[in-house]
Homo-oligomer: A and B are copies of this chain.
Amino acid sequence: MKNTISDIAKIAGVAKSTVSRYLNGGSVSEATRRKIEHVIKETGYIPNSFAQSLKAKKTSMIGAVVPRLDSFASSQTVTGMDEALRESGYQLLIINTSQDLSREIEALYDLARQKISGIVLFATQITTSHLTAIEEIGIPVILLGQQHQDVHSIIYDDFAAGYDIGRYILAKGHRDIAYLGVTEKDVAVGVQRKLGFQQALKEHGGASADFYESGFRMSAAVEAASDILGSRDRQPSAIVCATDNIALGVMKAAHMRGIRIPEDISVTGFGGYDVTEVIHPGLTTIKYGYAAAGRLAARHVIKLVQEEHVDPLTVLSYEFMERESVDNRK
Contact = CB atoms under 8 A, between A and B. Distances in A.
Interface in A106-150: 109-110, 112-115, 136-137
A26 interface: no
Interface stretch (A67-75, A155-163, A181-189, A230-238): A67-75
Contact of A69 (B44, B75, B251): B75
Contacts of A44: 136
A51 B55 CA distance: 9
Contacts of A50: 50-51, 53-54, 114-115
A94 B76 CA distance: 15
Interface centre among A78, A109, A279 (most CB of B within 10 A): A279
Interface in A246-286: 248-249, 251-252, 255, 274-275, 278-280
A279 to B, nearest CB: 5
A79 B68 contact: yes
A98 B83 CA distance: 9
6 smallest A-B Cβ distances: which pairs? Answer: A70-B75, A50-B54, A50-B50, A252-B278, A49-B113, A75-B75
Contact of A278 (B46, B82, B114, B251): B251
Contact of A48 (B76, B78, B113): B113
Contacts of A112: 46
A84 to B, nearest CB: 12
Nearest to A93: B93
A47 B110 CA distance: 10
Given A92-B96, A218-B274, 8 more contacts: A44-B136, A68-B79, A70-B76, A70-B79, A74-B75, A75-B75, A248-B275, A280-B280
Interface of A: 44, 46-51, 53-54, 68-72, 74-76, 78-79, 82-83, 91-94, 96, 98, 109-110, 112-115, 136-137, 218, 248-249, 251-252, 255, 274-275, 278-280
Given A46-B112, A249-B278, A82 B54 contact: no
A279 B113 CA distance: 45
Q: Pick the most buried of A54, A98, A109, A248: most chain B CB atoms within 10 A of its CB.
A: A54
A92 B98 CA distance: 14
Nearest to A132: B44
10 contacts: A46-B113, A46-B137, A48-B54, A48-B115, A75-B75, A83-B98, A93-B93, A218-B274, A252-B280, A255-B280
A50 to B, nearest CB: 4
Contacts of A92: 94, 96
A257 B288 CA distance: 29
